[in-house]
Amino acid sequence: MKRFTQLFQAVDATTSTNAKVAALQDYFASEDPHNAVWALYLLLGKTRKRLVTSRVLRHVFLQISDIPEWLFEDSYAHVGDSAETIALLLRTMPLADGPKLDRPLWQWMEEIIPPVKLAETDEDQARLIVSWWTSLENDQLFVLNKVLTGAFRVGASGKLVMRAIAKAFDLPEPVLAHRLMGNFEPTVDFYQQLISTDVAETAPSQPYPFFLAAQLDEAKFAAEQAASSAVELSSHWQAEWKWDGIRGQIIRRSGEVFVWSRGEDLVTHQFPEFGALLEQLPDGVVLDGEIVCWDGERPRNFNFLQKRLGRKKVGKKTLADNPVHLIAYDLLELDGKDLRELPLRDRRQRLLNLLEQHPSSWITPSEALTFDSFAALQQLRELARDVRAEGLMIKALDSPYLVGRKRGHWWKYKVEPMTLDAVLLYAQAGSGKRANLFTDYTFALWKESGEGKELVPFAKAYSGLDNAEIEKLDRWIRRNTKERFGPVRSVSPAHVFEIAFEGIAESTRHKSGISVRFPRISRWRTDKPVEEADTLESAKKLLKAMADA
């Protein structure tokens, strides 16, 4: 634990990318594999069930300390993280003297910590936690608390961690990224296969790292293409509709079908229909595309797909009401051969040939859209909502299938978001660096009834304001709080904000009867009185327009 804590501190103490990579490289090059694999597991934020909630950790701390709850809450408001708040306060307490344990990280992760879930009573659980706090040096308390609550984060992205390991063991980063895709097993065998310079066989279920598009800079792209002829543009670029589903890979290997989401979740059980591909596609095929709900001709609203997501088992009614489909963008593997180094035009032709030879009712190839000028591309984008798309994807036809977000090859060109002018109604303090500021907001629209008008909450948003606006609004919230509901404050309805969002759908879970996708603050409407904010009727008109598309 001591070495891992030192690594955490070294990475957290610098803003230099090179310094972070150097610290990580030194650690992995010299650390025992049994510890290193658990360090990698934590640094990459791999999913692990939370062993202790922040609430329980807080309760245990308050039991052994003389600090009143109100003082703890005030301290938390300044720090913004329960685990860190407790670690800082523990340093000020005379915990029982005892030997400080220097146990390796693997032993903490595999032997010492897991029994906390088996404690028969809350008192037994509390005794275990306090014994750990007592046995650790001050600088290790925060790391332990974060591991316990399942919220371990460090100031280095997964990309930097992979770069460091690639340097430490002289491995190509794309190879390492591929090996890390899919199921992560924190074992010595897994780690040694990961860092091996020999060609290692991958599991049949293992997906490829996804290639991601960057946001298009309209002015720059238009300027770069201005000198190109119509023929050059249409022969170099391809556009596709950007659909409102989930990006996924469907793998057909070893007589089985596996479905992976972009978030590296194995979601085969949520889409059992794709099992039919066993009989329709040859073995050794990997497709990349968008999983959507389907009305027989085109995608439905994301709200339909969401009814399947996160479920351990999808019922017959849900399957029938929300049929799925894959809009295939790319072919990454054919006959067991990795095709990612081929240019997109070649991969696409192989995809079309494959689906023509093995037609499936569950798969449709994406439509290739050509354009001979930037103006033509803009006109295509304007048609996106008419086909229920979010915008366009623009791809260079000579582009290989890379790893992560590499600029210059693939671009996303989304339609302008929908907007509504809404009234600030509630505010809550942020977390981390924004723990001292009210940065999480709830916005409302007017609802008209026989008794007059009332404000009904319809969306929450926390991004879109600059630092000066956040500080100005924070001061106003503190002066104009009407009521407090735990960490939430209700405020006088006095400010209007333009809220932008990508989609809108009916919702029985919200009082407003609607839900919106990816809401954020577009601008502070200081020019608009509260009485002129939008109504629920305005929102329902947007909803109807979406449904009629």
Residue that has been written with the tokens 């054919």 in this structure: 334
Whether 46 maps to a domain, the answer reads: yes
Whether residues 285 and 396 fall in one domain: yes
Whether residues 462 and 544 fall in one domain: yes
Whether 237 maps to a domain, the answer reads: yes
Whether 406 maps to a domain, the answer reads: yes
Which of 261, 256, 280, 476 shows the shortest CA–CA distance to 363? 280
Which segments of 313-411 does DSSP mark as H helices, in order?
316-321, 344-357, 374-382
pLDDT digits (tens, 9 = 90+) for 59-91: 999 988 888 888 888 888 777 788 888 999 988
Whether residues 453 and 328 fall in one domain: no
Whether residues 128 and 233 fall in one domain: no
DSSP state of 264: S
Whether 542 maps to a domain, the answer reads: yes
| CATH code of the domain containing 135 | 1.10.3260.10
Whether 295 maps to a domain, the answer reads: yes
Average pLDDT, the chain: 88
Whether residues 490 and 344 fall in one domain: no
Whether 316 maps to a domain, the answer reads: yes
pLDDT digits (tens, 9 = 90+) for 483-523: 888 778 999 999 999 999 988 888 877 888 888 888 999 99
Whether residues 267 and 384 fall in one domain: yes
Number of domains the chain is built from? 3
Q: What is the spatial distance between Cα 270 and Cα 83, in angstroms, rounded to a whole number?
A: 34
Please give the pLDDT value at position 521. 95
Whether 514 maps to a domain, the answer reads: yes
pLDDT digits (tens, 9 = 90+) for 378-424: 999 999 988 889 899 999 999 999 998 888 899 999 988 889 999 99
Whether residues 475 and 516 fall in one domain: yes
Mean pLDDT over 245-252 rounds to 94
pLDDT digits (tens, 9 = 90+) for 257-274: 999 998 888 899 999 888
The least confident of 115-119, 132-136, 323-327, 475-479 is 115-119
Asked if 257 and 277 touch (Cβ cutoff 8 Å), the reply is yes
Whether residues 237 and 380 fall in one domain: yes
Classify the C-alpha dihedral 152-157-159-160 as positive or negative.
negative
Whether residues 385 and 474 fall in one domain: no
Range of the domain at 75: 2-149
Whether residues 335 and 453 fall in one domain: no
Whether 180 maps to a domain, the answer reads: no
Task: Give bridge partners of residue 483 from the DSSP assignment.
Answer: 490
**Residue of 183 and 499 predicted with greater confidence:** 499
Whether residues 409 and 455 fall in one domain: no
Asked if 379 and 372 touch (Cβ cutoff 8 Å), the reply is no
Residue 549, pLDDT > 80, answer no
Question: What percent of the chain stands above pLDDT 90?
Answer: 44
Query: Is residue 437 classed as helix, strand or coil in its secondary structure?
Result: coil
